[in-house]
Amino acid sequence: MKYLHLLFVLTIFSSELLACSFASWEPFEPTLERWKQNPGPAQLDKASGGEYWESAPAPVVLVSEIVRATYKSGEPCSDAGLILLDVTLPDDSSYRIEEFGVYLRIQSGSTPDLIFPDIPVIGRIEGRKMTLLFPWLDSHPSRQYPLDLVLEATLVTNGLNIGKPTVFHIKQDNS
């Protein structure tokens, strides 16, 4: 009975710690199996020209949310900053988003902490969209500076084929 009471007390006092768990991203673990490329326009219509095999496409990246730390007392995770990215494939691609990992590289700008890993990642997939959440330990609001980053996103296949990059901007709106 003592242990049950102790477990109850620990659960109550540690619930705020457990509330700060993010389902963010996972490392992309390629199988290293040969990637099955889809037929390109030249195979489908000889007169159209274009690629014989469809290449890994350049991703379409949308910055859907930027949240900065507030450090408000009593609020769980108030020390965390968050960047939420939605990654899709171009409309004319015949591939599925789950066939790829996403590699992100900062081209310019400065981050308050290590936000983006240096490995390809995968996120939650819903339909044709992959959602990637990047949390980091943010500075107190009095020491924060606006985010202004230029990133490059590239798709990586299980066979380690690399697609064309997409350059996109993460710019914090201070309004």
Predicted confidence (pLDDT) per residue in 99-135, tens digit: 999 999 999 999 988 999 999 999 999 999 999 999 9
- pTM for the model stands at 0.82
Contacts of 106 (CB under 8 A, 6+ apart): 116, 149, 150, 151
pLDDT at 154 over 80: yes
pLDDT at 21: 77
For residues 60 and 166, the answer to whether their CB atoms sit within 8 Å is yes
74-90 per-position pLDDT tens digit: 888 899 999 999 999 99
pLDDT at 133: 97
Q: What are 105's two structure tokens?
A: 């590289």
pLDDT at 116: 96
Residue closest to 48 by CA, chosen among 56, 39, 57 = 39
pLDDT at 1 over 90: no
Q: Rounded CA gap, 103 and 59, in Å?
A: 10
Could you name the CATH architecture of 22-171?
Sandwich (2.60)
